[in-house]
Every structure is written in structure tokens, then in C-alpha cells.
């Protein structure tokens, strides 16, 4: 068994690091492996990856990790300090803060995940179309983008969620509406860079349509830059979502959303600091994790954005 394992590993390593890949799949696997090796050299990026993976694991195993029901009130134990029974204390209704923190990770990951998979494709489509066609198409799409960029994200999100009504679904929609313009600008810049490339001209001579050129040849070239930007923006999305929750426009009671938890404990901040401080620290740590991971991915996927 051991001899078989030792013979397979060098063969796999040789296949991954080959200078002459025999297929596109092998080339992609080789680039991914080399990128992973470069990412592991960045200690801060690995710390960020650990935080993000921890958030994902906590979200998945929340029912197993939470010691109490996050919605169950226990007025006999309200505002209890951190201790052996309640590690992070209890809130004004006697609910266990640790359990609410664990379940609140689900809403945090839900918000950043849904915003990322909706805003990034919209920005990618708008940016590639503007950069590829140019002319009046570029002018119209970029002026719309500039209008959205003219307003701070939080103010714009507040305006949209105020019009749509409070709730986590409307908060996600409002954040997504405000998040796509930077991705459009990045995709447009990448598209302008590559649209005159030789391989684009060769594909056009082979009869590939404009739609095929955008989807099959140009969009893949923009993905790496967008992945980096989305990862870096997730910290801002978390803060905007927490801000909406703090103002009562995001997740509604009794949902254990971190921003709403900070808002619930602000009246006890001086004497019972843990009610607001613990979810505030969670927001800070997760935001820091996404920022560290995003910096590491930028060094790996977008070397031009580094030093």
C-alpha cells in the first residue's frame, strides 16, 4: 500500500508541473496547483482562508455546534455575563449569544454569497458588452454605471431597501444593486485590452459570432480579476448588511443577524458590554478574513495588481 502511494504521488506531481501539458484540463490543473502553492506561501492569506473556511463550517454544522436554541428566550437568565454555562453570555431576552452568533453566520454567508453570484455576473455582462462593442453602447452602459458609482454604497442601499421595505431578501437585493458597477468597470477594462488580440481575430475569422467571442473568449479572461475584486468586496458587503441590520432594515427580529445583535445590545454597552461587543468582533474577524484572502488571491490571480 505504501509503495503504491509513493509511486502515485511523484507521477501526479510530474503531471501537474509538466512544461508540456497534453490537454487543456492538464494545463488548468497545473495552473491551479501552482497558484495554490503561491497562495500557501502567503501566511496572512492562509489566515484569511482559515477564517473563511471556519465561517463555512460553522454555517454547515450550526445545529451541531450551537449549545442552545438561538430563538428561545429565558427571562430568568437575561443579561448574564460570559461563563461556563453561557460562554459569551446572554442578551436582554436571555438568549444564548454564542448560539445566536453561530446561527447568524448563516445569514452572513447567505448575504455575501447571493450578492456575489448576482452582482458579479451582471457587472461582467455589462462591462464586456461595453468594452467589446464600444461606441454608443459603451457610452450608455458606462454612464449608467457612473450614476451608480456616484453614490456611496451604503446610502444607495439604504435608499433601495427603504423603497422595497425591510427584510433580509430586500437587503440582499439592495446590496446587489449597488455592488455591480465596480465589476463592470473592471470587465470593460479587461475587454478593451484583449478585444484586439490575435486570438480574438483568429476566432472571428473562423466565424465565431460576437456572442461566442464575448462568452467563450473574453469573459473567461475577466474572471480572475473579478474573483479578486469580489473577495475583497465581501468585507464591505458584510459591513453594509450589518449596517442595514443595525438600522432595522435588514434581517428582522428574532433572526440572529450580527448587525441586529449589535443594535440590540447598544443600550447595554457600558455595563453589559458583551451583548454588542461579541457580534461586533465576529463582524470584524470575518471581514478581516475576506480582506486577507482577497489580498492573497490578488497576488496569485492578478500579478499586475500587486507591487
pLDDT for residue 9: 54
Residue 10 clears pLDDT 60, i.e. is over it: no
Give domain limits for the chain.
27-67+95-305
Determine what percent of the chain falls in helix, strand and coil, rounding each to the nearest 5.
Answer: 75, 0, 25
**Residue 219 · residue 132 · CB < 8 Å:** no
The share of the chain scoring above pLDDT 90, in percent, equals 29
CATH number of 27-67+95-305: 1.10.3720.10
**Interior CA angle at 59 toward 277 and 39, to 5°?**
90
Specify the DSSP element, H or E, that contains 163: helix 153-164
pLDDT for residue 8: 38
pLDDT for residue 54: 94
How far apart (Å, rounded) are the C-alpha atoms in residues 304 and 221?
14
pLDDT for residue 142: 93
pLDDT for residue 64: 92
pLDDT for residue 146: 92
304 secondary structure, DSSP code = G
Specify the DSSP element, H or E, that contains 44: helix 43-60
Residues 6 or more apart in contact with residue 133 via CB below 8 angstroms: 210
Residue 307 clears pLDDT 70, i.e. is over it: no
How far apart (Å, rounded) are the C-alpha atoms in residues 85 and 156?
42
Beta bridge partners of 96: 90
Mean of pLDDT over the chain: 86
Pick the residue with more confidence: 25 or 176? 176
How far apart (Å, rounded) are the C-alpha atoms in residues 218 and 190?
8
The per-residue pLDDT for range 135-193, each reduced to its tens digit, is 899 999 999 999 998 888 888 888 888 888 888 888 888 888 889 999 999 999 989 98
pLDDT for residue 303: 53
Residue 30 clears pLDDT 80, i.e. is over it: no
pLDDT for residue 4: 41
N- to C-terminal Cα separation, the chain: 46
How far apart (Å, rounded) are the C-alpha atoms in residues 152 and 161?
14
Residues 6 or more apart in contact with residue 280 via CB below 8 angstroms: 258, 262
How far apart (Å, rounded) are the C-alpha atoms in residues 248 and 87?
27
Question: Residue 169 is placed in which grid cell?
Answer: 431578501
**Cα–Cα distances in Å, from 64 out to 52, 111, 120?**
19, 22, 33
pLDDT for residue 3: 42
Amino acid at each position: 500500500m505504501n509503495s503504491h502511494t509513493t509511486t502515485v504521488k511523484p507521477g501526479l506531481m510530474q503531471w501537474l508541473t509538466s512544461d508540456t501539458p497534453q490537454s487543456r484540463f492538464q494545463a488548468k490543473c497545473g495552473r491551479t496547483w501552482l497558484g495554490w502553492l503561491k497562495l500557501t506561501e502567503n501566511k496572512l492569506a492562509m489566515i484569511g482562508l482559515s477564517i473563511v473556511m471556519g465561517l463555512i463550517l460553522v454555517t454547515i454544522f450550526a445545529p451541531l455546534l450551537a449549545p442552545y436554541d438561538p430563538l428561545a428566550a429565558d427571562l430568568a437568565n437575561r443579561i448574564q455575563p460570559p461563563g461556563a454555562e453561557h460562554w459569551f453570555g446572554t442578551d436582554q431576552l436571555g438568549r444564548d449569544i454564542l448560539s445566536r452568533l453561530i446561527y447568524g453566520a448563516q445569514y452572513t454567508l447567505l448575504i455575501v454569497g447571493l450578492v456575489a453570484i448576482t452582482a458579479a455576473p451582471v457587472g461582467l455582462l455589462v462591462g464586456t458588452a461595453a468594452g467589446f462593442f464600444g461606441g454608443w453602447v459603451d457610452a450608455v452602459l458606462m454612464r449608467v454605471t457612473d450614476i451608480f458609482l456616484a453614490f456611496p454604497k451604503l446610502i444607495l442601499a439604504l435608499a433601495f431597501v427603504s423603497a422595497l421595505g425591510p427584510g433580509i431578501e430586500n437587503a440582499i437585493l439592495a446590496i446587489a444593486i449597488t455592488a455591480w458597477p465596480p465589476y463592470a468597470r473592471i470587465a470593460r477594462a479587461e475587454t478593451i485590452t484583449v478585444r484586439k488580440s490575435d486570438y480574438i481575430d483568429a476566432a472571428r475569422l473562423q466565424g465565431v459570432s460576437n456572442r461566442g467571442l464575448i462568452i467563450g473568449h473574453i469573459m473567461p479572461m475577466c474572471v480572475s480579476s473579478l474573483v479578486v475584486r469580489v473577495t475583497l468586496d465581501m468585507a464591505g458587503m458584510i459591513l453594509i448588511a450589518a449596517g442595514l441590520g443595525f438600522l432595522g432594515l435588514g434581517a428582522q427580529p428574532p433572526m440572529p443577524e450580527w448587525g441586529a445583535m449589535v443594535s440590540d445590545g447598544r443600550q447595554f454597552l457600558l455595563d453589559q458590554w458583551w451583548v454588542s461587543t461579541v457580534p461586533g468582533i465576529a463582524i470584524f474577524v470575518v471581514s478581516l478574513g475576506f480582506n486577507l484572502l482577497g489580498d492573497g488571491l490578488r497576488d496569485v490571480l492578478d500579478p499586475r495588481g500587486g507591487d
